[in-house]
Structure 1
Amino acid sequence: MPVAGSLDELNDRIRAWEAQDDARRINDRIRTIGQDFEIERPFLAPLPAEEFDPGLVLNPRVDRSSMITVRMVKYSVPARFIGRRLRVSLRASEVVVFDGRTVVARHQRVAARSGQSVQLDHYLEVLKNKPGALPGSTALARARESGAFTSAHEAFWAASRRVNGDADGTRELIDVLLLHRSMNATDIHAGISAALGVGAVSADVVAVEARRHATTSSVGGASSDRHPGAHVEEKVQRVVSLTQRRLMDPAAVIAGLPPDIRPLPSVNAYDELLAKRSEYPAGTASKENIS
């Protein structure tokens, strides 16, 4: 029996063995096994249109904690499926959860009984409505253990709570975590660093900077078909949140901006309208209007 460190390593070995077998000749035949297969290929039946599912199909119900129980192990699913039955494919090394034909959750299979596999992403919508539940949540603890919740997220969360308060600061963090559903983690981390560099603790700023990093990376990576002059480094003006700057310590110098010395807005100029209103109460008209 072959000994391998992982299933991927074993599959790689099998592919190498298959390539060697394609070059083998049976007895004294002229053609190799691979050459004979190419001759027979046009006469083979087509593969099934639907992909074969190698897993055991189950249909558990999602409990109030947004978890399903599969073989005495709990796995999280998106909170919007609470109370519904979902189709589960229990495979050798993973558990895949479907809503119809759409994959809504994927977990590494847990071997220990009464174990749990929880993903923070499945609870973000709920936590945004109840931000105070995030610090002590099991989902956050599991995300820290797995490395999905990084030091960049921690730094943004701390800065956001310091500026916006605990509740609103946590909501800004959750909006950043939601970006992971549509953007690359490397780009988001770059966006967080850029936002914190200018003192902005807004998810919108992180999104803008992350998209800019993604665009810059894609342009820089396509060096083979671009003119050499196209790679001249450009000085890009970073996004600066003026609102966040005003909320922070006035003594802090953010992105070289000058101090905001404008006076606070005033409505004193409109006080004369109040005098007019007292002179002509509602339901009455002035002499000018009557004439």
Structure 2
Amino acid sequence: MVEGKSEREVARYFGVHRQTVKKMCQYAIPPGYRRRSAPASPKLAAFIGIIDAILEADKTVHPKQRHTAARILERLRDEHGFTGGYTIVRNYVYKTKVRQKEMFMPLAHLPGHAQVDFGEADGYIGGKLMRFHYFCLDLPHSDGCFVKAYPTEDTESFLDGHVAAFAFLGGVPQSILYDNTKLAVVKILGGGKRKRTKAFSELQSHYLFEDKFGRPGCGNDKGNVEGMIGFSRRYFMVPLPVADNFDALNAKLLDGCIKRQQAKLRGQTETIAERMKRDTAALMALPAVAFDACHKISTRVSSLSLVRYRTNDYSVPIQYGHREVLVKGYVDHVDICLGTDIIARHKRSYGREEFIYNPLHYLALLEQKPRAFDQAAPLQDWVLPEVFDHLRRLLEARMERRGRKEYIQVLRLLENFTQMQVEHAIKQAIGLGVVGFDAIKHLILCAIERRPAKLNLALYPYLPSANVETTEPRAYLSLLQISRVGQQPVMGESL
């Protein structure tokens, strides 16, 4: 090109092919090797339809049970008489799978919309290694997040997570995108419609947000929250979190969410906190009253005064036996209601087939059946101060069988008074030597009303003191003499 020589001369001079010289003249830098797409092998051409059918059928089976290229080759040889090699089968399968891979559209997210999902991780809670679940709400516009951990992924945690997240954000998102979790969806209907669970319908009715659902099995439809679940696990839960209880763990997770708001993500000119201002401005206002985040079931109290909730049995007072009640299960406690009244409240148990008793619920029955006292299951793990056992020994020593019933009556004082009040009154009664139910109840009432007890005469100095002496025989003689004098006739009186 510089010296005006022909391509043939240059090729002869450098000892290269004329086509190479032509390419060097066309390109400033070597274009590299470019392979032409070769047509399917003649040996494979007759079997392409069979391979395509196998790959299409694989879409409906478990991913780990789909055909590999080697397995397809075996089937072609055994079932269809294929005589070709592995390489041409592998190359065709690879190209076909590449063509079938889904492509995605970049999305722009408006402020005020959210995505929700659950993740799971391991940690040491209360000194015990356990796998817990965590609720995650993500705001795609700003990448703001809220994370809260729970012992299980159930209706209670699903509802409580929403209530806590809305309180943290100070408002309600206009719409929330979910997967097809059974906590929200009973059945997938045609045309993209869903039949919602009763609990989720109540939540949506209370907060009035729009619900959206991704396609079944397509986690990429809510890719933002999926990414946030992974981020939370890697940054908030590595190394394994250690906490005394779930309240302490959630305090750490909330602190992590707040600190993350100062980050400036790739491709953004603003921090998460600055972008969250647009999100929060687009949120709907919170209702005046927070949603009652609980799972409700109707059931009947058994003859043992127990109510079953999620495989565990909880006690109620015996006067409600055999009656229809409403059980409201929360994340941390269980309420048992009759009408609008809460008749029993217990700490939530996450074990299985456990019995959760309140001993006070059975004292009225024990008063009727005192002989069952020592074998009563609700009282086996009831730990009371030593003074209660001392009182029982004194009562049974003085009153025998009646003493046990008297002791149960004293325990029933715990239905209306605190343990500290009853314990203090028992100590007073033993000190004054007035061991009994009436005396102990009197001492409690006097302490509450701030008045002196009438069991100690030293507190009443204006009362005459009584001096009781030992009786002697001569005292009876003086009484006899007085009696005889009183029987003598008076003058003027007929005999």
CA apart distance, 1:211: 3.8
Aligned to 1:53: 293
Are 1:200 and 1:241, in contact at CA under 8 Å, matched by a contact in 2? no
Where 1:154 maps in the other structure, the secondary structure is helix
Are 1:191 and 1:210, in contact at CA under 8 Å, matched by a contact in 2? yes
Establish whether residue 150 from structure 1 lines up as the match of residue 385 from structure 2: yes
Trace 1:97-116 onto structure 2 (pairs within 5 A). Answer: 97-116=336-355
CA distance in 1: counterparts of 2:466 and 2:399, whole angstroms: 22
Instruction: Flag structure 2 segments of 5+ consecutive residues without an equivalent.
Output: 1-236, 458-464, 472-495
CA distance in 1: counterparts of 2:437 and 2:412, whole angstroms: 10
What is the percent sequence identity of the aligned residues? 21
Which of 371, 384, 399 lines up with 1:164 in the alignment?
Answer: 399
CA distance in 1: counterparts of 2:416 and 2:284, whole angstroms: 40
CA distance in 2: counterparts of 1:61 and 1:87, whole angstroms: 8
Which of 205, 208, 213 lines up with 2:442 in the alignment?
Answer: 208
CA distance in 1: counterparts of 2:400 and 2:257, whole angstroms: 60
Are 1:58 and 1:87, in contact at CA under 8 Å, matched by a contact in 2? yes
CA apart distance, 1:110: 3.2
Aligned to 1:240: 455
Query: Compared with structure 1, are the counterparts of its residues 62 and 237 closer, same or farther at alpha carbon in structure 2 (3 Å cutoff)?
Result: closer
Query: How does the TM-score come out when normalised to structure 2?
Result: 0.37
Query: Compared with structure 1, are the counterparts of its residues 13 and 182 closer, same or farther at alpha carbon in structure 2 (3 Å cutoff)?
Result: farther
CA apart distance, 1:190: 0.6
CA apart distance, 1:261: 7.0
CA apart distance, 1:151: 1.8
CA distance in 2: counterparts of 1:261 and 1:49, whole angstroms: 74
CA distance in 1: counterparts of 2:439 and 2:351, whole angstroms: 42
Establish whether residue 127 from structure 1 lines up as the match of residue 342 from structure 2: no
Instruction: Flag structure 1 segments of 5+ consecutive residues without an equivalent.
Output: 217-235, 243-256, 264-291
Query: Compared with structure 1, are the counterparts of its residues 52 and 111 closer, same or farther at alpha carbon in structure 2 (3 Å cutoff)?
Result: closer
Aligned to 1:176: 410
Establish whether residue 185 from structure 1 lines up as the match of residue 414 from structure 2: no
Q: What is the CA deviation profile of residues 146-165 of structure 1, one whole-angstrom value per residue up to 9, with x for unaligned ones? A: x2x33222122221222233
Where 2:374 maps in the other structure, the secondary structure is coil
Which of 326, 329, 333 lines up with 1:90 in the alignment?
Answer: 329
Trace 1:273-284 onto structure 2 (pairs within 5 A). Answer: none
Query: Compared with structure 1, are the counterparts of its residues 50 and 208 closer, same or farther at alpha carbon in structure 2 (3 Å cutoff)?
Result: farther
CA apart distance, 1:123: 0.9
Where 2:380 maps in the other structure, the secondary structure is helix
Aligned to 1:197: 431
CA distance in 1: counterparts of 2:412 and 2:329, whole angstroms: 27
Query: Whose Rg is larger?
Result: 2
Establish whether residue 79 from structure 1 lines up as the match of residue 318 from structure 2: yes
CA apart distance, 1:20: 7.5
Amino acid at match of 1:73: N
CA distance in 1: counterparts of 2:449 and 2:418, whole angstroms: 12
